[in-house]
Structure 1
Amino acid sequence: MSRGAYVEKQLKAQIDEWNAKLDQWEARAREAEAKTKISYEERLSKLRQQRDNAQSKLEELQSAGEKAWEDLKSSAEKTFANLRAGIERVSSHSQ
């Protein structure tokens, strides 16, 4: 898969999907009772931070030269895997 396709189809699409999920959970948090709301907000804060890290990795990949791109790709994949795991944990608890 080419670099452009990898960035656009895999990473950017994944961040867009996660942003939509975060928006849904934020809406639920606003409607939740106080104790539940605190729990949502704590989880959302951690996920936002992980999402921001993933977005930074995506931007690094987009601007990296060919040689650095391969090194950054594995780092980005790890960052995305961590965010994916966090999203899945929250998703399983919010259903």
Structure 2
Amino acid sequence: MSDKDLYQQKMRAHLDEWKAELDKLKAKASGSSADTQLKINKQISTLEGKIDEGKARLSQLADKGEDAWDSIKDGVDSAWNTLKSSVKEASGKFKD
């Protein structure tokens, strides 16, 4: 398996983790007060947008040839770090 394939596999696994975390936030929102629901739903909306951006970056990466994928890897890493921080922040805010 190439470095590109391993990298994509790792990023897909992260996306799956973050989607699962988002599902937990959604479940928490449904059982919360109206004020808390508003706050959580705002975070969820933001995170969904960032996850969609991550998917788009991963798609761009998949479209690049083996030689060219390094050229966009830094952008993918940057988007991933932002998404990771956002997910951690959101889930930390609404822990029981």
Normalised TM-score (structure 1): 0.93
Higher helix share: 1
Aligned length: 94
Structure number with greater CO (CA < 8 Å, separation at least 6) is 2
Q: How does 1:40-79 map to 2 (within 5 A)?
A: 40-79=40-79
- Structure 1 gaps of 5+ residues are none
- Which residue does the alignment assign to 2:3? 2
3-state DSSP class of the match of 2:69? helix
- Which residue does the alignment assign to 1:88? 88
Rounded Cα–Cα distance in structure 2 between residues aligned with 1:63 and 1:15: 18
Identity over aligned pairs, percent:
26
Q: Which runs of 4+ in 1 moved over 3 A?
A: none
- C-alpha RMSD of matched pairs (Å): 1.1
- Which residue does the alignment assign to 1:36? 36
Normalised TM-score (structure 2): 0.92
Return the offset for 1:66.
2.8
